Amino acid sequence: MTGNNSLCKDKIRDLGRVLVLYGGQSGEREVSLKGGKAVLETLLGLGVAASGLDARTHWVQQVADTQPDRVFILWHGAGGEDVALPPS
């Protein structure tokens, strides 16, 4: 079992810094906030080096400042599900 546990820890470490991007400006903002915070809590609970960003405004610069290795985008509605990220 320790071999599997070690493998899991290696995979988690390989993720690097993960930024969960949630919120946005659509009518489904509240759903995105709730889901994004749940994803962030889960990642942190697994030991992932994760942080969250409520991407209401100026999100492009904030993502750049954070310098994540990966971004998990959790936007609902227009500007998220349609893959047309809104301007910052």
List the chain pLDDT tens, one digit each, 88 residues.
456 667 688 888 899 999 999 988 888 889 999 999 999 999 999 999 999 999 887 888 888 999 999 999 988 876 666 556 655 5
Bridge partners (DSSP) of residue 18 are 50, 70
* Domain locations in the chain as residue ranges: 2-74
> What pTM was computed for the model?
0.80
- CATH code linked to domain 2-74: 3.40.50.20
